[in-house]
Structure 1
Amino acid sequence: MQNYIKLKKILEDLQPYSIKLGLDRTIAMLEALRNPHHAFKSIIIGGTNGKGSVAQMLSDSFIHKGYRVGLYTSPHLIQLNERIKVNNKSIDYNTLLSLSLKLEPIAKEFGATYFEFLTVLGFLVFKNLNVEYAVLEVGMGGEFDATNVVDPILSVITSISLDHTEHLGKTIEEITKTKMAIIKKIGVIGKNPPNVVDLIKQSKNVPLYFVDEQYVNRAKNFDLKFLKCDYEKENLACAMLAVDSLNKHYNLGLSAEPMKDTYWPARFEIIKSANKTFIIDGAHNIDGTLRFLECAKKIKGTKMLIYSSLKQKDYKKILNIFDGWFDEILITKIKNQNSINESDIKGTLKNYHFLEDVNTCLQYAQQSTYKNIFIAGSLYLAALAKACSIVEESLP
């Protein structure tokens, strides 16, 4: 616990809520540390939705073949060290703190952000623990994201839709341009609108592989143990194509078979108790919301939704999408300075209740007659819900 508190203090001193796009600070830190990211081969994954699931699927495939693999994802759900894993094990805080103390003066010298610090820290961990391959999830966008300092052997782009428009652009085309900047040697592209596909084809003169009906059908025939929502089959198709592309170009002997057991939390995660079913999803943009709702509609029985969001998201449009599909909607706040409040949603929904925190919502839900309790709108909300005793006691 002491090591975690010390690490958290280092990160807080870096102004964790600031976003400063650009690679200069990350490159400068890496050069000062003798470029630890050159010690392993990288696979980088960008896109709007599905990045984390695909990253975990690919990591599982590498581990199954016997490779030593690092996994870098963001944001974390509950514990900070979830972001940096080797062979699916989160790195202990003693190791993270030791390397952070080495990195801290360099990060302060170059004015690094919270995310840039953690990205470089991940590279240091992977080098020190002799990782052969690292699977890296882009934080936001692509071109100016700190992960884009690597020279990946394969780049994956999942689905692209509108999100983070204040930083990445107001149109799909603008967002596609920044996301496809991660494609350097070989690109694997998930299911996307024709304008996205055409733009990538026109812009990139490297081998490109696009998910087609063959891969969609292969994915449909896979029985995923944990990732039950339909949108995960699209992510699976993308991961399958990535595996085949890696095998074709590098003869790695990877298999899609271990992806059947891939677990990625808070993605239509179903947790059953004696008399309730809790379904937790981190959907926080329009596209993710529509995909979540498609799956929610298929669940039989009465339904309650617990919702919260950050103010910079399209929460009014999202609430309009949800309106009418649930027997009752509870709106709440999350522990974030940018959380929506009751005043933000007035006039958006006809019928809802506002409760002050997630725990109160879950207690209300537990005492209700509703069979299915859906929790969606933010990964911050998902984390708070999973940590509540009512849900935690129902975990297998």
Structure 2
Amino acid sequence: MNYSESLAYLYSRLPVFHRIGAKALKPGLANTERLCAALGNPHQKFRSIHVAGTNGKGSTSHMLASIYQSAGYRVGLYTSPHLKSFTERIRLNGNPIAEADVADFVTEHQSLIEAVEPSFFEVTVAMAFDYFAKQQVDLAVIEVGLGGRLDSTNIITPRLSVITNISYDHQDVLGDTLPQIAGEKAGIIKSGVPVVISETQSETVPVFREVADRNHASITFADQVYTVRDEGMRDGYRRVEVTDVNQQTQVYTLDLTGPYQMQNLPGVLASVEKLQTQWPVSRDAVAAGLAAVVTQTGLQGRFQRLHDQPVVLADTAHNQAGIQSVLAAVQSMPHRVLHLVIGMVADKERSHVLQMLPTAARYYFCQAHTPRSLSAEDLRTEAAELGLIGEAFSDVNEALEAAQQNATREDLILITGSNYIIAELTNTIRDPS
């Protein structure tokens, strides 16, 4: 099989979460363990950092990878979902896995895949672990797909576990309360392995402390170690001042310019500090890595500026906390009218998100070309009941074109609501392949 044929095979044969949602999940780690056992247990052949959380885990993973790349290490990075190309999920020093390597893996292990009958995600995890082991990475940053305890990535025993924050998302799988969701995320905490929590949240602190104590794992609440002060934008970068508990101050420039990165940064810095004896990193390497996350790791869709006059921003925020953060950031930026291009998936709770959207904005409702997507007309109808008025479009690019035609140079256009919406933007989000 070539690359296209191998992907078509995986998509047609295996349940895929980004197409059918939670029905694609196969509870438990048995399939991943069975796949990796047949591959010679590659996950035991490289050292890793495991990153979970509701929001920010992707940004945190990419920031860590960029820092260690800047320090000269050979770094694997596994994330999901992808935006443009499947190969984005598996990277070595920022470079996506070669299409030929994907094709070779699927072709060589077709009989194994058919014997195990795993999910699409389980196969991609096994593929990533096999690739990192063969590439002899110095370390791999592994992002959890969903939850933590039962996530396929959780067969690893990392050198550090990182949990960014807890908010409401995937309640049908993870639970209806923050402590329940935290309990699932805390499932990545391993015996004797330190854990860093990026944000202190009163409802989840007892959960994390209890699980860490039970596993004899040291726990660090990063925002109690580092205080971050946003100094605004300068020359296309966000400038931040960080003060640690010893009152030592450092100024960084971030190419991930979303103000919500202020919540992720303490966890990143605490993680690097915690691992200094295993992977030493200089202060200069930290600064260089944080200033070049996009260029070094290929991360896109995080408060990404696509155009000026009017400003066009794309952000993959897709739950209540994520969209709330993005809206707060947008409201702090000077603009006349906000034009909001938005699409959402059908199998998530939407009412709380819609209730927080500003009635003064002008709306362009759209849908992605995936079975999980909520139809633009249904979204428009639900939004109209809350006073959010706009038009429905069958495609995000049509919606964006309409917004650009209606907007003045002083307006601001935000595209958000779903990874799948951002992924279908053309001529603005780069295809890494």
Q: TM-score range by the shorter chain?
A: over 0.9
The partner residue of 2:166 within 133, 146, 160 is 160
Structure 2 length-normalised TM:
0.85
- Residue by residue over 1:139-167, the C-alpha shift from the partner in whole angstroms, topping out at 9 and shown as x without a partner, is 00001100000010100000111111111
Aligned to 2:293: 262
Structure 2 residue corresponding to 1:244, chosen from 273, 281, 284: 273
Q: Name the structure with the higher strand share.
A: 2
Equivalent pairs counted in the alignment come to 386
Once the two structures are superposed, what CA deviation does each residue of 1:174-200 show, in whole Å capped at 9, x if it has no partner?
111111111111100011311211221
User: After TM superposition, which residue ranges in structure 1, 4 or more long, deviate above 3 angstroms?
Assistant: 222-225
Q: Which one of the candidate residues 201, 205, 227 is aligned to 2:209?
A: 201
Aligned to 1:322: 357
Alpha-carbon offset, residue 208 of structure 1: 0.8
> Equivalents in 2 of 1:191, 1:291: separation in Å?
14
Residue 364 in 1 paired to residue 402 in 2?
A: yes
Aligned counterparts of 1:177 and 1:103: Cα–Cα separation in 2: 35
Picking from 244, 249, 259, the partner of 1:230 is 259
Cα pair distance change 1:254/1:41, threshold 3 Å: farther
2:200–2:221 CA contact under 8 A, matched in 1? no
Alignment deviations for residues 19-54 of structure 1 (CA, whole Å, 9 cap, x no partner): 112100000111111101111101100000000111
- Structure 1 position 260, deviation (Å): 2.4
3-state DSSP of counterpart to 1:346: helix
User: 1:316–1:345: 8 Å Cα contact kept in structure 2?
Assistant: no
**Which deviations, in whole Å up to 9, do the C-alpha atoms of 1:280-314 show, x marking residues without a partner?**
01111011011111101012122200000001223
Which string of whole-angstrom CA distances, capped at 9 and with x for unpartnered residues, describes residues 129-148 of structure 1? 11121100000000110000
CA distance in 1, matches of 2:382, 2:127: 45
- Report 1:208-219 matches (<5 A): 208-217=219-228
Choose from 343, 350, 375 the match for 2:415: 375
CA deviation string 1:109-133 (max 9, x = no partner): 1111000000000011111111121
Deviation at 1:102, TM superposition (A): 2.2
| Structure 1 gap ranges (5+) | none
Q: Displacement of 1:67 after TM fit?
A: 1.2
TM-score when normalising by structure 1: 0.93
Deviations 1:334-353 (A, max 9, x none): 11112112135424332121
Letter in 1 for 2:75: V
Structure 2: runs of 5 or more not aligned = 18-23, 231-239, 242-250
Change (3 A) 1:5 1:19: same
Q: Which residue of 1 is the match for residue 281 of structure 2?
A: 253
1:384 to 2:411 alignment:
no
Stretch of structure 1 that moved more, 146-155 or 313-322: 313-322
Q: Post-superposition shift, 1:392? A: 5.9
- 1:254 offset after TM fit, Å? 5.3
Counterpart of 1:202 in structure 2: which amino acid? E
Shift, 1:61, TM fit: 1.4
Distance 2:16 2:330 in 1: 34
